[in-house]
Amino acid sequence: MTSDPPPPTGSDGGLLAPVRAGTRVEALTSDRAWVRAMLDAEAALARAQARAGLIPGEAAALIDGTAAALTVDAADLARRARQSAGPVAPLVSDLREAVTGAGGKNAARLVHRGATSQDILDTAAMLVATRAIAAITADLESVMRLLADLAQRHRATVMAARTLGQHAVPTTFGLKAAGWLAGLLHARDRLRVLRLPAQLGGAAGTLAALVEAARQEAAHDPQARALSLVETYAEELGLRTPLVPWHAERSVVGELGAALSGTASALGKAATDVILMAQTEVGEVAESSQGGSSTMPHKRNPALSVLIRSASLQVPTYAQVLGREGGHERAAGAWQAEWSPLRECLRLTGGAAETAVELVAGLRVFPDRMRANAELSGGRIVSERLAAHLDRDELRAALDQEGPLGGPPELLDPAGYLGAAPELVDRVLAAYRERS
């Protein structure tokens, strides 16, 4: 006889997504963090309206303080959200009730004034994303510092480059690490330039309710007052002022998803290479993780790399849902479909970035094994070089013979055919230092 499953708690601990379990970004994107961001948006709206002279300062202070102290059961809020297809309406009801209970019956009427639910949830999403990206970029900075050191130390460490899984020509491990660094540098720069906007447009993106409020206050130019309020609102939150409300024009969210997808993919590239280089038959690197197996005590699986790669494969799929066009002035379903995928993009990318710090910091490199692997083909790894010195028939005959190739040692040494690999490492390191 089996027991009934426990009721949902409203919080996902990441049992099936260990790459982000217990990470900073998981906490920054939790249900509690989303509720807090929505309350922050409501409080900022009240403060901005007070600064604009549209509501009394005492009312704004009461709303602000009450929002800061309010605690909400996220699971209960989620259940109540089913009635309005979103969590803002029941949360606003809770905030109004709390403000009333604090002795602010008149102030309670000013909660959420001039806003629509999407204003608050979109703004909250940008706050959550901004906070998560700050943690992600901090971890990327740590990974890049470690990779820069790795690339410098192994600038001339010879290893076999592999194309389509086979030996190609000699390269250096430093260049491989520099390639990882270059990918993350691009991803970090892309995240760094994101300036996510606040959202405030009212019922249909016209700011009509705020214009009317300004008119009631006998403002000289109520339209200008409402537009100025949007700027003040964004300033209160530390977000960018939008050109226009973007309720149904979702390129902002699409660009955010693309940047997170690119970051996860750059992390996944390094993880995939480590997995391949750590294979028993290759043995060129090893993780610091225990990588244990439930049945095979001898195994040391590249667990950290596996976690990072799992995230890198998921984020682009989630990102496909983001930024879909909405019909008219409010999307029915497309907007609501963004919420969970956006959170997963942030969580998985953040988890991968934090895990990558541990991976690179503890990565063990075996230069002797790299060199030995490069020599496995008996000099054939430099066949491209030999093609410049032998005619076609001579080269074919040399390659077809058994055993190591014969010929001048200076032509057969992999270290003598690195091209500009060390110099390419220098270029990446210079770009990294310039943009740090």
How far, rounded to the nearest angstrom, does the alpha carbon of residue 64 sit from its chain's CA centroid? 30
Scan for tokens 């209970």, then name that residue: 101
Asked if CATH classification 1.20.200.10 holds for the domain at 24-367, the reply, yes or no, is yes
pLDDT per residue as tens digits for the range 106-158: 999 999 999 999 999 999 999 999 999 999 999 999 999 999 999 999 999 99
Taking a C-beta distance cutoff of 8 angstroms, is the pair 419, 410 a contact? no
Q: Which pLDDT does position 292 carry in this prediction? A: 61
* Low pLDDT (below 50) residues in the chain: 1-11
Residue 22: CB partners within 8 Å, gap ≥ 6? 14
Q: Which pLDDT does position 13 carry in this prediction? A: 65
Q: Which pLDDT does position 390 carry in this prediction? A: 79
The half-sphere exposure of 320 on its side-chain side, counting CA atoms within 13 A, is: 4
pTM of the predicted model over 0.85: yes
- Domain ranges in the chain are 24-367
Q: Which two tokens stand for residue 265?
A: 């993919």
Instruction: For residues 182 and 276, give the distance between their C-alpha atoms in angstroms, rounded to a whole number.
Output: 20
Residue 424: CB partners within 8 Å, gap ≥ 6? 175, 178
Find residue 163's DSSP bridge partners. 166
Q: Tell me the catalytic residues.
A: 293, 330
Q: Which pLDDT does position 16 carry in this prediction? A: 80
Q: Which pLDDT does position 8 carry in this prediction? A: 43
Instruction: For residues 354 and 135, give the distance between their C-alpha atoms in angstroms, rounded to a whole number.
Output: 9
Q: Which pLDDT does position 64 carry in this prediction? A: 98
Q: Which pLDDT does position 418 carry in this prediction? A: 97
Q: Which pLDDT does position 299 carry in this prediction? A: 67
Q: Which pLDDT does position 397 carry in this prediction? A: 81
The crossing angle, in degrees rounded to 10, of helices 117-153 and 31-51 is 120
Whose CA is closest to 171, among 182, 149, 151, 156? 156
Q: Which pLDDT does position 3 carry in this prediction? A: 46
Taking a C-beta distance cutoff of 8 angstroms, is the pair 284, 372 a contact? no
Q: Which pLDDT does position 273 carry in this prediction? A: 98
What is the 3-state secondary structure of 213-241?
A: HHHHCCCCCHHHHHHHHHHHHHHHHCCEC
Identity of residue 29: T
